Each structure stands twice: as structure tokens, then as C-alpha cells.
């Protein structure tokens, strides 16, 4: 048992590292690289690239402690049989999941854009969750992995703050898991939405969890 206390908002949070996992959400080439799906839709991927360096620092430190590491990738089977209609029907042809984008078929498993970026790529033995939805608990084995490892706390990194990170944070709360979000390790294509989601998470005494930063986590781990 190794307990640490992390400086956070709305209050410091004490956790046991044996009951904690680092969850890295969707740092995939299609979202954070130029020429990826995010840019294809008119977004600036450089707004997301800032998470890579601090996430890598926390990832290295977490690996050194033996902490459970979990990576997620958003993507679908080639026949789209696992894709909810709500993810297909709101965009014009050519911009839909499964259409051909700059990095292959959009959000299809095995395509170039589906891969996690090299800087934070999984090592052998680390858990990789392929998720068909935005919330990483939806139709995945994430809950089982957490239960089997007796995980009570999740340190969050990844993209985007307001979509896949935010929806997973709120789902974690419903599953009885504490969420601790590192503000500089998550990002959105919109700074306004990024800030708003972090404010929601820590509001009302931490209704969905805590907000901290990589420096505070690294200091606690040391």
C-alpha cells in the first residue's frame, strides 16, 4: 500500500496507488496529427498536441511505480456493425465514420489514423480498450478490468476534454470510481469547452471528481 496526496480542486485528494490507474483517452493520430480526421473536419490539431509531453511525463512516472496503465482508442469494425446510428447520421457523406479520410477510413480499427501516437503508445502488457462510443465504459471491458484490479481511482489524460474525456469522467462517477483529471493532460478543439468541462467536473464540491495538473501528480508520485 502506497498512499499519496495530490494537490487538486476543489480540495486535495488522497489515493492509494495500488487502487489507482492512469487512463489515457484516445490520443490517436486521427485526432492530434495534421492530416488526421480532426483537421479534416476543420479543427486545429495543434490545440490537442499540447497534451502529449505532460502525458508522457506522467506515463513514465506511473510506469515506474507499477501503476495500472489503460489506453483507449475510439474506432469501429470495418463493417460498422458496432457503430451507433447517432454517430453516422448527423454528417454529410464524405465526413462520416467509415468514409475515406486523410489517414484512411475514418475511425476504423486498423487504419493509420486509428493508432495511438508514438510518444504515448502502449507497452506490452498495458491494457488497450477499443471503444465504439465516446464514453469508455460503453460496450467495452473497462469496468471488468477495473473491478479485477480493484481500481477505485482513475487519473485522466487524453482528448477531448468535452467529449470522450468528459463523458468517461461522468460515467466513472456512476460506476463509483473517483476521477482525477489532469488539466494540462487533457485538451479540446475549443478552449471555451475545455474550461467549461473542467469547471463542471470540480463544481459543487467535486460533483464528478477533481481537477489537478501533471506537476501536482508528479510531485505527489515523487
State how far Cα 203 lies from the chain centre.
Answer: 20
> What distance in Å separates the CA atoms of residue 123 and residue 175, rounded to the nearest whole number?
27
Nearest of 164, 112, 109, 117 to residue 142 by alpha carbon: 164
Four-residue CA torsion sign, 203, 50, 8, 217: positive
Active-site positions? 26, 131, 164
> What distance in Å separates the CA atoms of residue 15 and residue 154, rounded to the nearest whole number?
10
| Whether 209 contacts 201, CB under 8 Å | yes
Question: What is each CA distance from 136 to 5, 23, 132, 191, in whole angstroms?
Answer: 26, 10, 8, 23
> What distance in Å separates the CA atoms of residue 130 and residue 151, rounded to the nearest whole number?
19
Grid cell listed for 15: 489515493
Which strand (E) or helix (H) includes residue 213?
none
> What distance in Å separates the CA atoms of residue 50 and residue 162, rounded to the nearest whole number?
16
| Whether 72 contacts 131, CB under 8 Å | yes
Amino acid at each position: 500500500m502506497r498512499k499519496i496526496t495530490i494537490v487538486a480542486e476543489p480540495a486535495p485528494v488522497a489515493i492509494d496507488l495500488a487502487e489507482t490507474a492512469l487512463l489515457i483517452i484516445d490520443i490517436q493520430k486521427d485526432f492530434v496529427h495534421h492530416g488526421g480526421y480532426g483537421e479534416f473536419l476543420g479543427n486545429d490539431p495543434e490545440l490537442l498536441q499540447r497534451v502529449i509531453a505532460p502525458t508522457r511525463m506522467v506515463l513514465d512516472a506511473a510506469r515506474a511505480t507499477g501503476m495500472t496503465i489503460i489506453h483507449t482508442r475510439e474506432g469501429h469494425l470495418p463493417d460498422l456493425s458496432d457503430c451507433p446510428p447517432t454517430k453516422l447520421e448527423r454528417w454529410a457523406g464524405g465526413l462520416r465514420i467509415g468514409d475515406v479520410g486523410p489517414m484512411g477510413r475514418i475511425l476504423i480499427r486498423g487504419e493509420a489514423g486509428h493508432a495511438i501516437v508514438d510518444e504515448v503508445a502502449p507497452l506490452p502488457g498495458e491494457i488497450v480498450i477499443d471503444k465504439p462510443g465516446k464514453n469508455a465504459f460503453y460496450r467495452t471491458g473497462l469496468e471488468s478490468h477495473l473491478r479485477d484490479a480493484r481500481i477505485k481511482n482513475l487519473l485522466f489524460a487524453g482528448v477531448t476534454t468535452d467529449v470522450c474525456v468528459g463523458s468517461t469522467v461522468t460515467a466513472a462517477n456512476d460506476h463509483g470510481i473517483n476521477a482525477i483529471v489532469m488539466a494540462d493532460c487533457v485538451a479540446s478543439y475549443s478552449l471555451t469547452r475545455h474550461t467549461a468541462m473542467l469547471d463542471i467536473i470540480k463544481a459543487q464540491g467535486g460533483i464528478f471528481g477533481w481537477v489537478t495538473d501533471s506537476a501536482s501528480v508528479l510531485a505527489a508520485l515523487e
